[in-house]
Structure 1
Amino acid sequence: MKILVVSTNAGTRMGGEAMKAVQYFAHLLSEGRDARLVTHARNRDELVAMFDPARLIFVEDGLAQRAAWRSRIGRPLVGMLFHRAVARLARRFDPADTVLHYLCPISPVAPRFAPPGYRVMIGPLSGNIHYPAALGRRAPFRGRAMARLHAPLQRLLGRLFRDRARAAVLLVSGGARTRRSLACAGCAPGRMVDVLDAGVSPGLLARPRPAGDGAGGRFACIGRMVDDKGFDLAIRAVAQAGPGVDLVLHGDGPMRPALEALARDLGVAGQVRFAGWLDHAGLGPALDACDAFVMPSLAEANGIAMQEAMALGLPVVAFDWGGPGDLGRNGGAVLVPVGPTRDMVAGLAGAMRDLAADPARAKSVGARGRAVARARFGWPQVAASWSRHYDDMAARGRRAGDGRG
């Protein structure tokens, strides 16, 4: 049985979703699966150095895709055009012996245009995540509009494009919020399977605990410097927490100049270090140099960086919202309630100050988080929870278009 893993992005330099695609595909090959990775041609240079080129299928930009990318109005069509191209490429393979696994993006809204007759699995899906309501107009206008329009848009797209409703398996990592979204699109609950969104490499799980072992006040934070990552809240929390709490920000993005100015204005430029973009290969050493991890994201569907920090035994502070709230439940992390901005900053500051001042508690939180990571986050466990459905689909003979079931 051939498996086509479809992901718009795949690589080590393009964020969590792209890294997930590479790690999962590598795992399938290590299991001896007859798998191909279908992705955009922009990923070619890195991927051909990592995998047998015969296992890679690249989608080249056509005129329509290039025109859509150059247009702000047309840019939302880029993903749709990609999946249209994937449908054409997939027809090279015999539907009787092929599974189409649409891995990324995680959006439960985006149509995939799976060609009829193939066994189809989509996910993990973890969308329908928006800013906490208490933050009001902090969310960009487009985000607020999408939050209001999400359900009716899903109903409309579900009627126009039946690919999600016809998929044999829908992997759901976003819990109830994503299940509600898929139900609006006409997807049967019986085809939804709850899974984790991503895994952590065995090497990271086996890495010795950081030398600091949580006994200190240097917090790491990783991500692209855009509004929904909430880096400004972490900087404000450092200012409230006072001496003894430092922050190392790994990442880059359009908000970096404003964040640097905020640190200066609040008088904490000496406590906040902007370390720049962090290559995944440098993740372990970078986190080893810190005592704890903070994830102030405001609309995070999952939280791969948080999973990796927990795997390394760092105590984690995060908001009890979206993916980080799910990952840190049951003592795996210190979760700060969401609410008005001032309360969230105060809660973050208090949690960071408490961990910095109480090494025994920091060590305990880190140990619990690592135990959770070892029990649940390893790629072998996560990948098996996805890939077992390939064999189930083959045994059932269920293909796209077989009915809603």
Structure 2
Amino acid sequence: MRILLSAYACEPNEGSEPGIGWQWAIELQRAGHEVVVLTRANNRARIEDYFASTPGAAQPAFVYFDLAPWLVTLKSKGLLPLQLYYLFWQIFCVKVARQAAHHHRPELVWHITFGVIRVPSFLWRLGLPFVFGPAGGGERAPLRMRQDYTLAGHLRDGLRDVLNLISSLDPLMWLTFARSDLILTKTRQSARFVPWRWRNKTKVFLELGVRALGEEGPAGSGGSIRFLYAGGFIYLKAITLAIRAFAAFVRLGGVGRFTLVGRGPERSRAEALAKQLGVDALIDWVSWVDQRELARIYATHDVFVFPSLHDSSGNVVIEALSHGLPVVCFDLGGPAEIVTSDCGVIQSTAGLSAHAAAATLGRTLKALQDDASGRERLSSGARQRAEEFLWPRRVEAAIDLISGALSVGRAGVP
């Protein structure tokens, strides 16, 4: 299939949105599709350096576009908000996209990054089959689960709620939904963000993938257990709830250690909480590490604990599964879309305060320690689940979904 892929964020050897744009571009091309990537001119040097140093790599065609230099300067100096610059980019990239479409004759136009359901795309104007997403951002932490938030956390999530409400009434978003032939969302929560009249063409599809399965972790035993968290130490990741859950596990007679890998402003507060709850001596704090070292850490732990409250996806969850670690998470956001009963535990938060949910999570951790054979079964299921996210399988699943939903190959680009 010939695909014009709109990836504002697209850079090699990066995580988050730039990594998502890059991986889909490369993996689609590697799978035999003819891919043209529309991305920022700011990304050009890194992309060209990558291909110069990686002979034989699958190489899509790239088309570069940025706004006027003075607007780029204002953005880089923080005088123009990224969200506004991004909106302008989406508006004015259409002309360049139309030129690329005339030259490359794509059968499909696909907006992939930013994967945010609050900001419109205008590439439907090309008159070709148009896919929007996977988009997230419609996830929301229940108010009762914000119990451990600082004032800043409450303000950030309150502002996010307001912006989501405004965006849900945005006529430009409605136009994007109306003119999309297929809308992909990262989670069921984001799918509910799409107005009813366009839900029939909305599908949940996670944008994540993994290159290969990791080294398998140790076989479970009935003795001491090693829990692991990896990610940012920021309010929405709820590491204080992870600490409370681990403390509940210890109070129930659990024997084990808890490693937290990452960095961020919540660390000092979480360390103080661990000391207050009397579990600080059982917790190991590790600053952010590279992927090779993180892989070694995965392989020396038994269970991955990820209590995030409104992640749209969760790449570390798939990484943990690929190393055979069962994952324990709440029934919120992307992790709940990834984890199944065959590879972990999705802890319900229905009707619970954050502290009550953490206590329940602690009981789940104790049950996992007590059931070594069950943990081994979940470990096997974790690797099987991770296989579903190997990039060739993700690309195949996406193309099957798109081909089944759309009539590709319509002629003409106005």
Under a length normalisation based on structure 1, what TM-score does the superposition of the two structures give? 0.84
Partner of 1:122: 132
Paired with 1:60 and 1:71, the residues of 2 have a C-alpha distance of 17
Are 2:183 and 1:173 aligned?
no
- Paired letter, 1:117: L
Partner of 2:170: 156
Q: How far did residue 50 of structure 1 move? A: 3.5
How far is 1:72 from its partner?
7.6
Matched, 1:346 2:352: no
Is residue 335 from structure 1 mapped to residue 346 from structure 2 by the alignment? yes
Conserved 8 A contact 1:294-1:318: yes
Counterpart position of 1:232: 240
Secondary structure of 2:408's match?
Answer: helix
Residues 107 and 126, structure 1, Cα contact 8 Å, conserved in 2 = yes
1:217 correspondence with 2:228: no
Query: 1:55: which partner in 2?
Result: 61
Q: Pick which of 101-110 and 91-100 moved more.
A: 91-100
Aligned residues: 393
Q: Distance in 2 between matches of 1:131 and 1:399?
A: 44
Shift of residue 316, structure 1, vs aligned partner? 1.2
What does 1:59-74 correspond to in 2, within 5 Å?
Answer: 59-60=65-66, 62-68=69-75, 70-71=77-78, 74=81
1:189 to partner: Cα distance: 3.4
Q: Secondary structure at the match of 1:162?
A: helix
Tell me, in whole angstroms, the C-alpha distance in 1 between the residues paired with 2:204 and 2:356.
32
Q: CA deviation at 1:398?
A: 7.9
Equivalent residue, structure 2, for 1:94: 101
Task: Report matched runs for 1:11-160 at 5 Å.
Answer: 11=11, 14-41=14-41, 43-44=43-44, 46-51=46-51, 55-60=61-66, 62-68=69-75, 70-71=77-78, 74-95=81-102, 97-98=105-106, 99-114=108-123, 116-119=125-128, 120-136=130-146, 138=149, 140-147=154-161, 150-151=164-165, 153-158=167-172
Q: 1:149 to 1:18 in 2, by over 3 A?
A: closer
Question: For residues 128 and 399 of structure 1, what CA distance do their matches in structure 2 show?
Answer: 34
Query: 1 CA distance for matches of 2:330 and 2:239?
Result: 12
SS at match of 2:9: coil
The equivalent residue for 2:383 is 370
Which whole-Å CA distance do the structure 1 matches of 2:401 and 2:92 have between them? Answer: 25
Q: Distance in 1 between matches of 2:412 and 2:123?
A: 10
* Contact 1:163–1:400 (Cα < 8 Å) also in 2: no
Q: Deviations over 1:245-280 (max 9, x none)?
A: 322222222333433444344443332222222333
Shift of 1:225: 1.8
Which position in structure 1 is the counterpart of 2:302?
291
1:197-220 CA-to-partner distances (Å, cap 9, x unmatched) read 32222x22xx45223457652122
Distance 1:128 1:390, change over 3 A: closer
* Cα-Cα RMSD: 3.2
Distance 1:77 1:65, change over 3 A: farther
| Contact 1:245/1:353 (<8 A) preserved | no
Going from structure 1 to structure 2, the CA distance change for 1:274 and 1:19 (only over 3 Å counts) comes to farther
SS state of the match for residue 4, structure 2?
strand
Alignment-mate amino acid for residue 204 of structure 2:
D
CA contact (8 A) 2:185 2:205 kept: yes
| CA drift at 1:41 | 5.0
Deviation at 1:123, TM superposition (A): 1.0
Seq. identity, %: 22
Name the CA distance, whole Å, in 1 between partners of 2:281 and 2:45. Answer: 39
TM-aligned CA deviation for residue 281 of structure 1:
4.4
- With the length of structure 2 as denominator, give the TM-score of the two structures: 0.82
Q: CA deviation at 1:383?
A: 1.2
Task: Assess, with a 3 A threshold, how the Cα gap between structure 1 residues 208 and 264 changes in structure 2: closer, same or farther.
Answer: same
Deviations 1:116-148 (A, max 9, x none): 224221111233101123225635334234435
Q: Is the 8 A contact 2:75 2:82 kept in 1?
A: yes
SS in 2 for 1:220: strand
Residue segments in structure 2 that go unaligned for 5+ positions in a row: 53-58
**Deviation for aligned residue 1:90:** 1.5
1:73 CA drift (Å) = 7.9
Report deviation, 1:13: 6.0
In structure 2, how many angstroms separate the alpha carbons of the residues matched to 1:222 and 1:42? 30
2:123 alignment partner, SS class = coil
> Conserved in 1, the CA contact under 8 Å of 2:87 and 2:119?
yes
Change (3 A) 1:68 1:22: closer
> 1:296-326 CA distances to partner (integer Å, 9 max, x unpaired)?
1011222222122223221111112222223
Q: Secondary structure at the match of 1:35?
A: strand
Cα drift, residue 228 of structure 1: 0.4
Query: 1:31: Cα distance to partner?
Result: 1.9
- The letter of the residue matching 1:322 is G
Inter-partner Cα distance in structure 1 for 2:179 and 2:303 = 44
- Shift, 1:230, TM fit: 0.9
Post-superposition shift, 1:111?
A: 0.9
